[in-house]
Chain A
Amino acid sequence: MKRVLVIGSGISGMACAVRCARHGVHVMLVSPDPSERSQSIMAAGGINAVIADCDAGDSVACHIEDTLKGGCYLGGRRAVTGLCENGEEILKMLVGLGTVFSVDKQGQPLRRAFGGQTYKRTYYCGASTGKQIVSALVMEARRFEAEGLIERRLRCCFHSALIHDGVCYGALLYDETANKPEAVLADAVVMATGGQNALFGKTTGSTQCDGYAEGRLFMQGAALKNLEFIQFHPTTIETPQKRMLISEAARGEGGRLFYERDGKRIYFMEEKYGAKGNLMTRDVISREMGAVKEQVYLDISFLGKKLIDERLPEVRDICAKYGSIDVYTQPIPVSPSVHFFMGGFAVHSHHETNIRSLFAVGECASMYHGANRLGGNSLLAAMYSGGVAAEEIAGRPEVGRAPDFGKFISQEYDKMQERQSADSPFPVMYIRDMLAESMRSHMGIVRDEKSLDEGISDVEHLLSVAEHLRYDSSVRHYTNYSLTGILTLARATLQCARSRKESRGAHYRSDAPKTSDEYGFSTIITYDGGSYNVRLDKEHEYES
């Protein structure tokens, strides 16, 4: 029987696992925690689809155009066409799995308007679309678990891939229950590990999405793409451990952004962009906020208690709980935060990386979103990419006999043993904090070459000491062995941003503020023994 190893059990990982299982392919679904802890459950907004009964004037072609335009035409038309054409089928599949969508009186899923889109085409489940989809997929995966086709492995972390001559034969995992590494051979390995939050410390996302798998596989030969495109969400509130997202709905309902100067409120977005200024795209608002010296506030108090209670209860509750802010009477102090990574593994149309039999799906794969992502397209892409990879894997012959990885495994095992025997109080988290501080300073909303060079210098320094230090071994072993991969990914991200000497979508360079046709291609970065090689994908090797 064909065997697939899926790393990560959020929506894209489960979508892939379920689709593989439907084809009779055995799936080992690996994650440190159950799907209920994945970042997917935090996706609130909705999922885009153009269905037969769409808004008058809407079409799949229009969804394709909106997606390409939102991504500043870096997304490949063929890939985006596949994504948008499958929206209706994916929506039907989710309904068929029992996802509890918000519905009208006839029981049909409701849709709403989302930023950057010409028509209403975002289907939603109250304010917890991601969670409801996860719950439905967990049930469906459970059906195949009961049949023995999906084998869930919890408390299990990715360590490295088993690669020989450009072909992936499986992965080395770290089993946290048994406290030992385990090599698993498979006909295909699918990475579904989410975004790269750890590079920035506090973000709106999960602490579990750290980018390690991308960093490690990059070091093992996987090409990465468009790492410079990182979406900032303009309205988040600061808390000691994370950035709490204040939904775009707050501005959609009429919320106004302002700052105070000399006791007077300055509605800077409206002054510059007119009445709809507060609803400009996320990158434009984030940049405008970045240019303001004063604290920026979001005011929804004038909307009234009734409207807030009916339409923005989550905003009300988050502000009260984590900011002690009474939104009925007080404005919300907001600032932009890292929210989504358009970059990740460079993948071909079937979501296979440049390493044969190694696939990537969901946020960790760079596809569809180009230089910026539309709201509602991330859940669609998670579902679609998982399905695309599964279909490709199911249709392929088995890989065949794997070469002997004994030497590689024993070397890695020795390194693990050494780390675990360390008697040091020094925690890896101190280095992670230094990395996040540098990335926030140099890889923020507005970048320039000098600052990026400083960032590169910082990360080079951290990389040079990281392997020589001994760390507190009382924490999870994964926390310690993941450091170098995370640092390497950060270094690659800075390199991509340095190389793109233009401004496009979420990447803004104050020393090159215009968009340039010369850079109208995706960035591809590869690693070769410590050197970071960047090129533009002018031949459309990865996306067309």
Chain B
Amino acid sequence: MRVSILRQKSAESEPYREIFEYDGSPDNTIAVLLDHINYNDDITDIYGKRTDRISWECSCLQGICGACAMVINGVPALACETFVRDLKGEEIDIRPLSKFPVIRDLIVDRTSIHENLKQTNIYIGEYQPSEKSSHAQQYITAKCLKCGLCLEVCPNYVNGRNFFGAVFANDCYLAASRNRSKSKEIRGVYSKHFGADCSRSLSCMDVCPMKIPTITSIAMMNRK
């Protein structure tokens, strides 16, 4: 099977494509496939040209840390829980998340996710839960991986300079619901950086590895 990968040597350089042959099992994940191409032998493309090893990130390798987020056959997903057998077509297309600056190959700089939350003071502070808070929703939103898949798929998210996306909305909900005294302040920045511009496509929920029901966070944040 052929694997086409969109690569880039550094943040400043131009992207280019390289195609590799994958002869491993279809029961492997894309994470295993990348290791297989990198370390099965000296790395060469389908034309036999020696090339650099493919850079990508991983940590848990079981779908709970979000490191290996990338775009696989056009769908934003975690490489460690996407199986070759489930992919359609003759060729697998892999590229880095497009909404973040590329650092190298499939590694992108997702600092903006954390930076936006920091700049807008989204933290709990003192625990003073609101009476209407939903434990189940807080538990699931606290599982957010900050992987960026929701931002990649979002039609409203461009580069994180104004609209901050579902990852921001869910952390806003978590902080506001765990500290009612900060709720008003958080609703203000929520409205400015999410509520006013979200077109409710809810595609973020389709790709979230934790299956966070962002629509519930939105409903809770809109409740007066």
Q: Which residues of A contact B (CB under 8 A)?
A: 33-34, 36-39, 41-42, 95-98, 100, 103, 107, 125-126, 128, 131-132, 135-136, 139-140, 142-143, 145-146, 152, 154-155, 176-177, 206-208, 239-242, 244, 318, 321-322, 324, 425, 427, 429-430, 472, 474-476
Contacts and interface: CB of A to CB of B under 8 A. Distances in A.
Contacts of B74: none
Contacts of A242: 61-62
A97 B129 CA distance: 11
26 contacts: A36-B66, A36-B146, A36-B147, A98-B127, A125-B139, A132-B143, A135-B142, A135-B144, A135-B174, A139-B122, A139-B124, A139-B174, A143-B125, A206-B59, A207-B59, A240-B28, A241-B29, A241-B31, A244-B62, A321-B63, A322-B62, A425-B50, A427-B39, A474-B53, A474-B55, A475-B53
Contacts of B122: 139, 142
A206 B81 contact: no
Contact of A131 (B39, B63, B64): B64
A241 B58 CA distance: 11
A425 B142 contact: no
Contacts of A36: 65-66, 145-147
Contacts of A176: 103
B139 A100 contact: yes
Contacts of A39: 59-60
A34 B118 CA distance: 13
A28 B178 CA distance: 27
Contacts of B50: 425
A38 to B, nearest CB: 8
A168 B60 CA distance: 32
Contacts of A425: 42-43, 50
A390 B59 CA distance: 27
Contacts of A474: 52-53, 55
A37 B65 contact: yes
B85 to A, nearest CB: 10
A131 B61 contact: no
A208 B53 contact: no
What 6 pairs across the A-B complex have the smallest Cβ distances? A474-B52, A98-B178, A98-B124, A135-B142, A143-B123, A37-B59
Interface in B142-179: 142-147, 171, 174-175, 178-179
B117 interface: yes
Interface in B34-58: 35, 38-39, 42-43, 50, 52-53, 55, 57-58
A41 B60 contact: yes
B41 to A, nearest CB: 9
A34 B114 contact: yes
Interface in B69-103: 80-81, 103
Contact of B139 (A34, A132, A472): A132
Most B CB contacts (10 A, CB to CB) among A95, A136, A241, A430 go to A241
Contacts of A126: 139
A146 B121 contact: yes
Interface of B: 27-29, 31-32, 35, 38-39, 42-43, 50, 52-53, 55, 57-67, 80-81, 103, 109-111, 114, 117-119, 121-127, 129, 135, 138-139, 142-147, 171, 174-175, 178-179
Contact of B62 (A107, A177, A318): A318
B146 A139 contact: no
Contacts of B174: 98, 135, 139
A310 B15 CA distance: 47
Contacts of A208: 59
Contacts of B124: 97-98, 136, 139-140
Contact of B32 (A136, A240, A476): A240
A327 to B, nearest CB: 17
A140 B123 contact: yes
B197 to A, nearest CB: 23
A206 B66 CA distance: 12
A135 B170 CA distance: 12
Nearest to B66: A36
A37 B66 contact: yes
A131 B143 contact: yes
Given A36-B145, A208-B59, A474-B52, A97 B127 contact: yes
Nearest to A245: B62
Nearest to A44: B64
Nearest to B117: A142
A349 B95 CA distance: 49
Nearest to A473: B52
Contacts of A429: 38-39
A242 B81 CA distance: 13
A150 to B, nearest CB: 10
Contacts of B135: 100, 103
Contacts of B121: 143, 146
B123 A139 contact: yes
Contacts of B57: 33, 37
Nearest to A42: B60
B25 to A, nearest CB: 8
Given A36-B66, A131-B64, A140-B124, A476 B55 contact: yes
A96 B118 contact: no
Most B CB contacts (10 A, CB to CB) among A322, A427, A429 go to A322
Contacts of B145: 36
Nearest to A429: B39
A152 B113 CA distance: 14
A207 B145 CA distance: 17
Contacts of A142: 114, 117-118, 122-123
A389 B199 CA distance: 48
Nearest to B62: A244
Contacts of B53: 427, 472, 474-475
A241 B61 contact: yes
Contacts of B123: 139-140, 142-143, 146
Contacts of B59: 33, 37-39, 206-208
Contacts of B103: 155, 176-177
Contacts of A96: 126-127
Nearest to B139: A100
B222 to A, nearest CB: 22
A194 to B, nearest CB: 11
A425 B53 CA distance: 9
Contacts of B139: 100, 125-126, 132
Nearest to B114: A34
Contacts of A95: 127
Contacts of B117: 142
A154 B123 CA distance: 20
A183 to B, nearest CB: 23
A135 B143 contact: yes
